[in-house]
Structure 1
Amino acid sequence: MLNKLISNELSENTVLPLSSLHKIAIHPLREKLYNELHNRPFQSISSPAQLTHIAIQHQGELKQQEHDFISLLCNRFQVNSPAKSMPCFYQDFGLFSLRWERHLEYSTYTFIHQAPLTDQPFVKNAIDYVPSNWFEQMPGQVIAAVHLIIESENIDKAKTHKVEQFFDNMSLIASAPVHSQAKVWSSFKLHEDGFGRFLIYQEDLSPAQLGRLAQQLLQLDTYRLMATLGLPLAQAINSELNQLDIQLQQVTTYIALGTEKSDRELLTQVSKIAAKVEDYRSQSTYRFSATNAYYDVALQRMEELKEEEIPGYMTLQEFLMRRITPAVKTCQTASNHLEDISKRVTRASDLLRTRVEMVLQEQNQTLLKSMNHRAHVQMRLQQTVEGLSVAAISYYGMQLFETMLTSLPTLGVEYNHELVSGFAVPIVIGIVFVGTRLIHKRLMKGLK
């Protein structure tokens, strides 16, 4: 009934007045979560334009250095510097614009020059309008660097075959994204200036569509490099894991066949293998997880391109899938191999520990049997000693009794000394025996 009343009230007033909202407790992250959707908006780009995109790897560090670096450029052109907490920054500097984004382990600098070409494509690029003495101070290591040219032209078959000259006559990959409203060429290779190249010819795309297309291509180039960053590590680890695999196989064979090697030696060998495996896991776990994440994002960017095929060329998605997927699979294989060896090492350690525990149990059983035998012998000796003790105590008791008897004549008591002594012997022995048994029982009861 209460839910029905609430739903009726909400249907009558679907929008809460501002004063009512202020009376409700607001989640502290609500505004941040709203702003997160708009932290890295698509940049509107008018055609023609030239872009230079550089991705710098910083491993989550260099935050202060990056801020100082960008502030230096802003101060030079007398514009406002970005706040230290900003993950994305865009500023127009006249001849060029800068779009900067900071990610978890890398940052991107995209320089945009929106003007017609003064020469053939890739002769003069957006980076050429940036002060060189500032650019050379860029912190971090370059992981991706690419020039992107946007031109508004209609491309026919004759013009298409001349595109290779802009890529140093390298073999090209091309497609028609955005449902064939544009045509994109790239070689996905480094040229003499150390940059990759993208060439876009478009017909009727809006600045927003061009901005999205350019961002998708630049992100795709960055993500595919970040996705393959774990490949050299995977290849190095795989060769080492093969050796560890052989060593572990030998250890398990020794455990199964019971060779001359001692359990201590085998356990030491297994511990060394386990230490190496954990070292490799610590080096590679983050890198391989990041590889999978970047690969998923790269796949998403490929789908967003909505490519259509240009006759005679491989599409970007087809080319990258043929190249990136094996690299990512290699990283996944290395990661799975590590996990497999880690589990096998654990099982081998458990087997060895079980064997050691069984040996210890056998030794303990042997020791207990020996202790039981010793206790039995000790008990027999104790019983013998108790018998001797009864005899000794009885002897001394009779001596004391006879001493007492010798004093009786002085008291005027007449008796037969031999007869009284003879009858006293069994009585004294019985008393001593019963006394010792009572003491023995009391002691045993206290131990229990």
Structure 2
Amino acid sequence: MLSSRLLCWRRAMVIAGRSLTCVILTCLYLFWHPSGQLENFDLSFEYSPALAVSSAKEPLASVRDWRTLIPDVFVYAAHMASPEAFGQELHITAITKLYDTSRCFCTYPSSSKNASSLRNVTERAILENLWERHNLFRTASRFRCPLPSSPVPFQKVGLTCKSKNTPKREGFVEFLLSGRCLNSTIKEFSIALCVGSSLRGKYSDDPSSVIEFVEYHRILGVDKFFFYITDVSTRVLRVLEHYERTGVAELMNWTLPFKAERIHYFGQVALINDCFLRTSSRWDFTGHLDLDEYVATTNSDGLRGALRDSKADWLLLRTCVVRDPVPRNLAANEVNNSSENLHVSKIGGVRQRSTYVFPESARTKYFCRSRKVVFFGVHSVSGMVPGCAAMAAKPEETLLFHFRPEIDSMVEVVEDRRASAAAAQAAVNMAAVRNELGLV
């Protein structure tokens, strides 16, 4: 009798031990493998940043400023990711060390007025490096946060990180979500254009170049400009604020919280990914250009027509070189303070370009339906959703003019006046803006 009881007891202990092991393994799996794409989450309601501000105990920091989460982890803004490319996720733009191993979590505080539904939802955040291939100390990154599986209304998200190397280092940052609805209708062939890394150096005090760039590309069909600003003069800022007031542009502060040389070209890859994600649910196509790059096309309907006729979700533009009318040896203050140079038209003066057109593997730029893309690089994209159509524009139809102060005398040139008509229309608008802002 005693032996049978001992046998039963041993069997019970074995079963209990196995059950406990299963529970532990399940918990470990859930901890280390956060859920990916969550189904049936209702995104039909519109997020309201105003409600989030009124319900917050303390004012939230601006979504347009870099903040330090923990040492070597910097975060910028939170956006809803494209359901087509990622499923139900929220992404946070970041800059981190290469191979950062911090453990991070996203918390969604409920904003419901119903007391029974007031609860926070926490999900494990996935930290991804957006490879720049420059092997610098810091790299563009993003946090991917799965959305809650239950439709708890929320207007903000908190990000908590703990450093694995120094467990006592823990940081928390809270973001407001964009006041928009993912299910909103996107106007077909509407275009957004991102500008950032080039808005420095000689362009930091060159209001005429900013005006010409905007007015010319508006003629081609660009609906909205997104300027990421670091350090610009009062005159340039006045121009940018004019376009913001008139609804033509949105301005973001891109002042990095560390020395710029510790990341490639002022965090350009992080900037591009933030801007393309920011525009993915509001505009059909998004592109990224520098202030010395102009789209030139023979299409009678401009850039919008080129995108429409290509029947592509991702259109690659090849580049050629054209001469910048401002001499290389002229000092920046001479260029910018001269009233004569306020009326120098870069694109309006183009009559010739280099015969050589760079191949598809070099110096290209692109416009794409950003909701269909996983990763945005400077010159190309990767990870397009199935069925996404891609093509390169024919240089004889659409080309990117890249202004250089001088063209080597050995470079062969060919006549190309395809930008003249749009430049002439833009010149009228440029004069009106300069007159309104007193830049005469």
* TM bucket normalised to smaller: under 0.3
TM-score of the pair, normalised by structure 1: 0.18
Greater helix fraction, Structure 1 or Structure 2: 1
Of structures 1 and 2, the one scoring higher in RCO (CA 8 A, sep 6+) is 2
Structure with larger Rg: 1
Instruction: Answer 1 or 2: which has greater strand percent.
Output: 2
Q: TM-score normalised to the size of structure 2?
A: 0.18
